[in-house]
Every structure is written in structure tokens, then in C-alpha cells.
């Protein structure tokens, strides 16, 4: 069965700029391990850092705390709520969904409606088309309920196992998976001696422009940056595509902002092959925090250990427990194998590779 920290994290609520619940959970977990110091930036990213020697290289491991979701952008005179997405979402997934509006007075329920199909010029539904009906009869009553502009709006999809107990369905798989694996790494390596400085935690505001990755990378200035993130697979439709549930973790060799450096691609692939870890080479049209670290400072050795997941950037996603286990094995293996000599070699191969 899945480590309880993952379920805890999936069930927490936090879109970009509203990561408070997740950050508090991660801080409480980190505080159990005093070998680390807790480091934050001004946006709210949180990391556990263990410095062996400031002269040694620094390896950074990062999930991200924010999930995709919505905010209230307008309250109409009839008491309806207009919405704005925080992260990449399609309007179609919300039709007739019951959503939670998170207010200072508590959670308010609403149901999503939209312009009826026979009144539309196109059958596509955008976020702009959506109306969240909270049962208010006027704007004044909606305000009495506690609704304010900017309130977080999320879908109350609980954590569940599939019938065979091999897969999980939940909201926020992207990317509380990365947060949970980061916490597992903090626990595992807290009393291990490593030949480099280690920094493990999670960023904020990844879904709206990789913002937390930029501020925390500028603060830490790592030599190696490993993002932990869920990535979309479409194996239910096309078996020939990249990424399948149950086939291992993802080596993300390409996305538009991070083409995996040849030295890193060879190193990760060889490690996985030699240690019989199930893995898949993967490409994506989206990005992860590794893309931001990749081109900061003088350039950073940056890549992603990915979890294949179906239906991310929707109200619920699915992943395979075996893939999570392979991702965990790979992360721990990489952190055990890295050392100053290997890091220097990886950097030099990129400089001199022709």
C-alpha cells in the first residue's frame, strides 16, 4: 500500500499562491529531522538543506506544492461566480461538476453551469464560459456567504484505490507525488553521509510559470537539479505513444524548455539499465521546474524523474503504484551514486561534447 504521506498530500488543497496547507505539512515533516536546516524563499518554497562543506557541489531535489485549479474572478449581480484558471485547464472538464469555494468563513459548494449548447456558436467550452452557481440569489448574498474575489476554487475528489489496489485515483497527483517523494528522501537520507550538499523540498507556483523554481534556484545555486513531477500519458488511446502506466518511471529526454543534456541522458539511462529499474524515455510539450533551473546562473545540470499519470490537469488523475516505486528507487540510486567527481565529469562532458 501507498505511504500515508501521499494520501495526506493529495487530500490537501493548494493552487499557486495558496500552498499554505501543503507547506505547513512539509515543514512539520522536515522538523522531525534536525540534521537539516529548513530554507525558504520569499515566494514560499520550502526545502530541507544539509551542508557537508560549502566548497562541495550542491544537489537539489524538488517537487512542487501547487495543483491546478481555479479562482473567483467576478461575482455577477445574480450571485453567480465567474472563474479564472490557475494552471493549464480545459473548460470541458468542469461542466456539471460540484466545486468547493474556499472562503474565510469556510467552504461553499457550487455547481458549474455553462452556456447551453444550442445557444453557442461553437461546441468548445472555455473557462470563460463557466458559471459557478452557489445558490445565491444576488451579489449581496454571495458576499454574505463569504465569497471574495481571488478565492480558491477546487474539486473535492477524494483519494481512492482502484479495485485491484494497484493504482490510485486522486486530485493533485500533479504534483503532490513529487512532494511525497521528496519527503521520503528527506527521511531516508537524514542520517546518511553524502559527499555533497543536499537540498530537498518543494517549490511554489510551478503551474503558472515555474516561478518558485527560479527564486529558490537563485537562492541555493545548485550544481544538479532534479525535479520530481507527474507527466501526462495517453496510453488508453495510443499504445505507440510515449509513456504507459505500469512500465516504470519516466526519463524526460525532451520538453520545449529542457532538452536533456547528453551526459545526463546517458548517465540516467545507464544507471537504470545496470540496476534493472523499469524506465521509459519520455517527451512532453509541457515543462517542469527543471526547465527553469536548466538555464539559470551559468546553466545547471537539470532533469526530471517523472511519474506517468493519466488525466493530469483535470479534476482527478490515475497512476500505478509500481511506477512510483521505480521512481523512488531511481531517485535514491542517483543520490547514492552522485559525487563531486561524477558531477564534474557530467559538466565537462557537456562543455566538450561535439
206 is catalytic: yes
User: 82 has which bridge partners?
Assistant: 74
What does the buried/exposed string (b/e) look like for 316-334 if buried means 16 or more CB atoms within 10 Å of the residue's CB?
bbbbbbbbbebbbbbbbbb
pLDDT band at residue 352, thresholds of 50, 70 and 90? low
pLDDT of residue 315: 94
pLDDT at 257: 85
**What is the distance between the alpha carbons of residues 60 and 275, in angstroms, rounded to a whole number?**
23
State the average pLDDT over residues 87-102: 94
DSSP state of 331: H
The verdict on pTM exceeding 0.85 is yes
Does the structure show a pLDDT above 90 at 150? yes
Strand partners, 283: 254
The percent of residues above 90 in pLDDT, for the chain, comes to 84
Q: Mean of the pLDDT values across residues 17-28? A: 98
Residue 351 has pLDDT above 80, yes or no: no
Convert the pLDDT of each residue in 255-313 to its tens digit: 888 889 999 999 999 999 999 999 999 998 888 999 999 988 888 999 999 999 999 99
Strand, helix or coil for residue 9: helix
- The catalytic position among 206, 207, 214, 326 is 206
Pick the residue with more confidence: 194 or 238? Answer: 194
Q: What is the pLDDT of residue 78?
A: 97
Supply the pLDDT for residue 118.
58
Angle at the Cα of 17 (from 292 to 94), degrees rounded to 5?
Answer: 100
Per-residue pLDDT reduced to its tens digit, 73-83: 999 999 999 99
Q: Quick one: CA torsion of 193, 196, 202, 208, rounded to 10 degrees?
A: -160
pLDDT for res 237: 72
Residue 234: band (very low, low, confident or very high) from pLDDT cuts 50, 70, 90: confident
Instruction: Report d(CA 288, CA 7) in Å as an integer.
Output: 22
**pLDDT exceeds cutoff 60 at 353:** no
Gyration radius of the chain's alpha carbons: 21
> At a CB cut-off of 8 Å and minimum separation 6, what does 84 contact?
70, 71, 72, 73, 127
Q: Which residues pair with 47 in a beta bridge?
A: 39, 201
Residue 255 C-beta-side C-alpha neighbours within 13 Å: 22
Residue closest to 168 by CA, chosen among 324, 320, 308: 320
Backbone angles phi, psi at 348, to 5 degrees: -65, -35
Residue 354 has pLDDT above 50, yes or no: no
Distance between CA 5 and CA 351 in Å, rounded? 40
Mean pLDDT on 210-214:
97
Based on the number of CB atoms within 10 Å of its own CB, is 349 exposed (0-12), middle (13-18) or buried (19 or more)? Answer: middle
Higher pLDDT, 348 or 189: 189
Residues facing residue 75 across a β-bridge: 81
- Alpha carbon separation from 260 to 225, 235, 254, 281, 295 (Å, rounded): 12, 23, 6, 11, 12
Amino acid at each position: 500500500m501507498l505511504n500515508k504521506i501521499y494520501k495526506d498530500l493529495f487530500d490537501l488543497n493548494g493552487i499557486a499562491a495558496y500552498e499554505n496547507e501543503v507547506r505547513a505539512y512539509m515543514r512539520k515533516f522536515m522538523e522531525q529531522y534536525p540534521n537539516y536546516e529548513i530554507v525558504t524563499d520569499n515566494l514560499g518554497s520550502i526545502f530541507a538543506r544539509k551542508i557537508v562543506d560549502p566548497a562541495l557541489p550542491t544537489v537539489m531535489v524538488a517537487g512542487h506544492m501547487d495543483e491546478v485549479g481555479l479562482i473567483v474572478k467576478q461575482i455577477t449581480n445574480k450571485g453567480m461566480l465567474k472563474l479564472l484558471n490557475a494552471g493549464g485547464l480545459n473548460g470541458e472538464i468542469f461542466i456539471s461538476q460540484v466545486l468547493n469555494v474556499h472562503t474565510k468563513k469556510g467552504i461553499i459548494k457550487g455547481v458549474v453551469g455553462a452556456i447551453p449548447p444550442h445557444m453557442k456558436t461553437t461546441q468548445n467550452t472555455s473557462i470563460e464560459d463557466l458559471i459557478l452557481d452557489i445558490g445565491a440569489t444576488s451579489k449581496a448574498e454571495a458576499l454574505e456567504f463569504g465569497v471574495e474575489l481571488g478565492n480558491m476554487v477546487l474539486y473535492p475528489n477524494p483519494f481512492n484505490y482502484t479495485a485491484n489496489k494497484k493504482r490510485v485515483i486522486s486530485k493533485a497527483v500533479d504534483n503532490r507525488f513529487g512532494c511525497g517523494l521528496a519527503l521520503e528522501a528527506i527521511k531516508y537520507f537524514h542520517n546518511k553521509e553524502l559527499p555533497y550538499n543536499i537540498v530537498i523540498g518543494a517549490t511554489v507556483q510551478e503551474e503558472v510559470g515555474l516561478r518558485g523554481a527560479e527564486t529558490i534556484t537563485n537562492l541555493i545555486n545548485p550544481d544538479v537539479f532534479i525535479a520530481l513531477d507527474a507527466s501526462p500519458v495517453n496510453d488508453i488511446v495510443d499504445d505507440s505513444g510515449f509513456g504507459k502506466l505500469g512500465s516504470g518511471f519516466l526519463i524526460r529526454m525532451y520538453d520545449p524548455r529542457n532538452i536533456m543534456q547528453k551526459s545526463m541522458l546517458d548517465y540516467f539511462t545507464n544507471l537504470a539499465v545496470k540496476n534493472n529499474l523499469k524506465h521509459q524515455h519520455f517527451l512532453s510539450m509541457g515543462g517542469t521546474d527543471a526547465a527553469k533551473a536548466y538555464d539559470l546562473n551559468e546553466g545547471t545540470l537539470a532533469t526530471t524523474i517523472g511519474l506517468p499519470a493519466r488525466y493530469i490537469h483535470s479534476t482527478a488523475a490515475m497512476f500505478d503504484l509500481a511506477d512510483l516505486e521505480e521512481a523512488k528507487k531511481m531517485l535514491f540510486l542517483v543520490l547514492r551514486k552522485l559525487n563531486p567527481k561524477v558531477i564534474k565529469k557530467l559538466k565537462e562532458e557537456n562543455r566538450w561534447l561535439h
